[in-house]
Each structure stands twice: as structure tokens, then as C-alpha cells.
């Protein structure tokens, strides 16, 4: 130990302050960019530029534009999940689907589409409204956040008569305009989006949830785990890449 | 001019350690801010090197009393960075405080690694980066302590 002067200049405080400001700006940037890019919620804005066209998203003809999608709009491999917010199996599979989307985040050959398929059974009395609630959250750019909240907290609201209050709390916690959210749940725009997904599910013969398709092929419930899904998706990606190569080869020969 | 007793940081080889610690703390800060933002936006985190990121990040251990661990980590890394910068500019007391904080962070990281390996059964690559940075901060401090001890014994 020895006598030592305290730092005289304000330089350390300046550096610390700059890093603090940079961290805050970085967090705000990440927050804003994360809520918009990469995710396509039903109607996070009136713009349709970031959304796939109905055709690209395999939506039925005449369905409203906009689907809830993660990943590349031009991906060769599409994982499409039909789910119900009051279905226990869907809540159980939810982390798996998030994990899958994480595993392929940034992979231009992969995209994940979430479809509402609220079952019309007495035990699922709030399911349709829950789908509408996530679409209402989507109108404020918070579809995936609300979807996550509803699945993660399914047990807390599914049998609670005050479920709307609980959803409003989620909306408030997500920084949403709660009054607008409540009004939008009953709005025609959200209803149309949910109905469009149901229509697509019926067209594909979906009868239970969760139902997952990989490039249109149904995945058995027993294989809705991360290892099996990754294997299936990897096989699809490899098959698409192989088909692209074989298509490219004759074209290259023809040019010679 | 105020003078006070502070730990030795003038030993050759020690001067650069707070700077190195500051750089490592910045890496940890960036990593934690990223994870904290992803926690609040509930968006998937890329998981290319290991499997199970979502399982880890959505586990009950991702929050303590409603506070995301990632946010607490970001605060800890920022404080560690501030202490390292002050120490780099000659304030030896801050280096001691840094050592205490780095020890706590390293211990907490080891506990989190244990949770991932033994309880959750999955790893999250960004959590492992955070663990690596906090353990590195502790090793940097340990190195400085050993060099100081060696120097004082000569």
C-alpha cells in the first residue's frame, strides 16, 4: 500500500457516462428493431411491405393479407403450427416451437408461421377471444409477446372469470395502449385474421391442436420435440438444396 | 489535494489489468443487454451452437422476484466496467470493490451453469458467454492479486 492520488481528470466519468448512454441507446435500438423486423405480426402497422403475400404464406385465396411469421419470407422450408390458446398440448409445445425458431433464426431457408385454430368446444370457451387478443396486440406490434404471455400463463387465466383483466395486465406490462387493446379484441380486423387462419386450417383438414406441418407434411404429435423437428427441418432444407442443385446443373450445361 | 491510502496498482504488469477488465466487462454488458431486451420482447434468441436456449431463457430461473437475471447482469457488468475504468485511472480502492463484485458474479455464474447442466438440462449460448466473461473478470482480478502478493514479498 502506498499513498496514491485519486484520479484528477473527469475522463473516467466521461467514459463511464458514454458507455451508459451507448448501452441505453443500444437497448432501445434492439427493442424497437426486435419488435418489428424479423417478425411479421398481423397488423403491427398498416403497411404490408414486411408481410408475405397470402400466396407466399400459403394462405387461402381471398384471405386478408398478413400472417404471423418468423423468418425469411422467401424461405424454402415452412413450419406452420395451428394452435389453440386453451390447449394444454399447445402450451407444452410452445417452448419447442420458440426453440425451433431460435435454432434457425437468420437461416434464409426457414420460416415459422403461427396459425390460430381455436377449437369450438365448451372447455375452450375463451380460446377464440384469446386469438383475437393476440391479434389485437399485433395491431400494436406485440403479437409474439402476447402469444408468449398467453401460452406461458395459460393456467393463470384459462379458468379465471376475470381473464380479460389479466390480459389487460399483460398488455399493460408490454407497454401497450390498454384501452385500444381492449377495443381491438372485439374489432372486425382481429376477427377477420383469426377467421382466415381457421379457414386455412379447415382447408388442410386440421382437426386437433397442436397440428404442425413442415412444407405441408403433418408432423405426428410424438415428434413435436426439438430433436425430431430439427431433424425434419434439416432434411427438408437438404432436399430443397439438392433439388436446386440438380435444377441448376442442366441450366449450366445448356449455357455451355 | 486529497490523498488517501489506496492499494498498489503501480506494479509493472498490473496497470493494464483494469483496462483488460473494462474491455471484458463491455462484452458482458453487451451480451446481457441483448438478453434482457430479448426477455422483455419475448422474441426467440438465436441458438446455433447449443440446443435449449429457449428452455433456459423461459425457465423459472430466468427471473428472480420478477427481475430478469439478464437485466441484473447488465447492471452488474456496467458497475464492473465503471469500477475497472476508475481503477485504470489509478483509484486502487475501486479495484478492490471490483474484485468483490467479480467474485460474486463468478460465483453466481457457476451457479447458473450448474442450473443449466443439472436442473434445466439445456444450455443457452449467450448465457455461457456471460458466464465466460464473469469468470474472466474474476481471473483478471485474481491475477492482479497474485502479482501484488508476489511483488510485496520481494
What domains, with CATH codes, occur in chain B? Answer: 16-148 (1.20.1440.130)
Q: Is A31 on the interface with B (CB under 8 A)?
A: yes
Residue A130 inside a domain? The answer is yes
Residue A57 inside a domain? The answer is yes
Q: Which residue of A has its CA nearest to B37?
A: A31
Q: From the CA of B82, how many Å to the nearest CA of chain A?
A: 6
The strand pairing partners of B67, in sequence order, are B64
Q: How are beta strands A39-40 and A110-116 bridged, if at all?
A: unpaired
Task: Please give the tally of structural domains in chain A.
Answer: 1
Cβ atoms within 10 Å of B65's Cβ, excluding its own: 5
Cβ atoms within 10 Å of B119's Cβ, excluding its own: 11
With an 8 Å Cβ cutoff, are B55 and A95 in contact?
yes
- List chain A pLDDT tens, one digit each, 256 residues: 444 445 557 899 999 999 999 999 999 988 877 543 333 333 333 332 333 333 333 333 333 346 898 888 778 899 999 999 998 889 999 999 999 998 898 888 899 999 999 988 888 889 999 999 999 999 998 999 999 999 999 999 998 999 999 999 999 999 999 999 999 999 888 998 999 899 889 888 888 899 999 998 999 988 999 999 999 999 998 888 787 777 766 655 555 5
Residue A17 inside a domain? The answer is no
Residue A163 inside a domain? The answer is yes
pLDDT tens profile B126-149: 999 999 999 999 999 999 999 888
With an 8 Å Cβ cutoff, are A102 and B46 in contact?
yes
Q: Which of B5, B78, B90 sits opposite A1 (nearest CB)?
A: B5
With an 8 Å Cβ cutoff, are B53 and A6 in contact?
no
Tell me if A13 sits within 8 A of B19, measured CB to CB. Answer: no
Rounded Cα gap, residues B144 and B154, in angstroms: 16
- Tell me how far CA of residue B15 lies from CA of A4, A15, A74, A132, B49, in angstroms: 14, 18, 53, 60, 36
A 63-122: CB under 8 A from B:
70, 95-96, 98-99, 101-103, 105-106
Residue A6 inside a domain? The answer is no
> Is the whole-model pTM more than 0.90?
no
Q: Is A156 on the interface with B (CB under 8 A)?
A: no
Would you call the peptide bond into B2 cis, given omega within 30 degrees of 0 as the criterion? no
Tell me if B61 sits within 8 A of B120, measured CB to CB. Answer: yes
Residue A193 inside a domain? The answer is yes
Residue range of the domain that includes A103: 38-239
Residue A1 inside a domain? The answer is no
With an 8 Å Cβ cutoff, are B58 and A12 in contact?
no
pLDDT tens profile B21-46: 999 999 999 999 999 988 776 666 77
Q: Which residue of B has its CA nearest to A40?
A: B43
The residue count of chain A comes to: 256
Question: What stretches of A37-87 show up as alpha helix (H) in DSSP?
Answer: none
Tell me if B11 sits within 8 A of B143, measured CB to CB. Answer: no
Q: Is A145 on the interface with B (CB under 8 A)?
A: yes
Spell out which residues of chain A touch residue B4, defining contact as CB-CB under 8 Å: 3-4, 6
The residues, any chain, with a CB within 8 Å of residue B31's CB and separated by 6 or more, are B126, B129, B130, B133
**Domain harbouring A115, CATH code:** 3.40.30.10
Closest CA to B54 of A99, A232, A146, A89: A99
Amino acid at each position: 500500500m502506498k499513498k496514491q492520488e485519486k484520479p484528477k481528470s473527469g475522463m473516467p466519468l466521461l467514459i463511464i457516462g458514454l458507455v451508459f448512454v451507448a448501452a441505453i441507446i443500444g437497448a432501445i435500438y434492439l427493442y424497437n428493431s426486435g419488435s418489428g423486423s424479423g417478425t411479421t405480426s398481423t397488423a403491427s402497422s398498416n403497411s404490408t411491405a414486411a408481410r408475405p403475400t397470402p400466396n407466399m404464406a400459403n394462405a387461402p385465396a381471398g384471405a386478408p393479407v398478413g400472417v404471423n411469421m418468423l423468418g425469411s419470407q422467401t424461405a424454402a422450408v415452412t413450419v406452420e403450427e395451428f394452435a389453440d390458446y386453451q390447449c394444454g398440448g399447445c402450451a407444452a409445445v410452445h417452448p419447442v416451437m420458440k426453440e425451433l425458431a431460435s435454432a434457425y433464426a437468420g437461416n434464409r431457408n426457414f420460416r415459422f408461421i403461427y396459425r390460430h385454430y381455436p377449437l369450438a368446444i365448451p372447455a375452450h370457451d375463451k380460446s377464440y377471444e384469446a386469438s383475437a387478443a393476440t391479434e389485437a396486440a399485433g395491431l400494436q406490434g406485440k403479437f409474439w409477446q402476447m402469444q408468449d404471455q398467453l401460452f406461458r400463463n395459460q393456467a393463470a387465466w384459462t379458468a379465471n372469470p376475470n381473464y380479460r383483466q389479466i390480459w389487460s395486465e399483460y398488455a399493460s406490462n408490454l407497454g401497450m395502449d390498454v384501452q385500444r387493446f381492449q377495443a381491438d379484441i372485439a374489432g372486425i380486423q382481429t376477427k377477420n385474421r383469426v377467421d382466415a387462419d381457421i379457414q386455412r386450417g379447415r382447408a388442410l383438414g386440421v382437426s386437433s391442436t397442436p397440428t404442425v406441418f413442415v412444407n405441408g407434411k403433418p408432423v405426428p404429435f410424438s415428434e413435436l420435440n426439438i430433436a425430431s423437428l430439427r431433424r425434419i427441418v434439416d432434411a427438408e432444407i437438404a432436399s430443397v438444396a439438392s433439388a436446386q442443385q440438380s435444377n441448376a446443373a442442366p441450366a449450366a450445361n445448356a449455357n455451355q | 489535494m486529497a490523498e488517501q491510502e489506496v492499494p498498489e496498482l503501480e506494479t509493472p504488469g498490473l496497470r493494464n489489468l483494469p483496462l483488460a477488465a473494462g474491455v471484458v466487462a463491455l462484452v458482458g454488458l453487451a451480451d446481457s443487454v441483448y438478453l434482457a431486451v430479448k426477455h422483455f420482447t419475448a422474441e426467440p434468441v438465436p441458438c446455433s451452437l447449443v440446443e435449449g436456449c429457449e428452455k433456459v431463457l423461459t425457465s423459472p430461473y430466468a427471473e428472480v422476484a420478477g427481475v430478469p437475471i439478464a437485466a441484473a447482469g447488465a447492471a452488474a457488468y456496467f458497475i464492473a466496467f465503471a469500477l475497472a475504468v476508475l481503477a485504470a485511472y489509478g483509484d486502487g480502492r475501486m479495484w478492490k470493490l471490483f474484485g468483490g463484485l467479480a467474485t460474486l458474479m463468478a460465483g453466481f455464474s457457476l451457479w447458473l451453469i450448474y442450473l443449466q447442466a443439472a436442473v434445466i438440462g439445456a444450455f443457452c449460448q449467450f448465457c455461457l458467454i456471460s458466464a465466460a466473461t464473469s469468470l474472466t473478470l474474476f481471473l483478471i482480478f485474481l491475477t492482479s492479486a497474485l502479482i501484488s502478493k508476489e511483488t510485496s514479498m520481494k
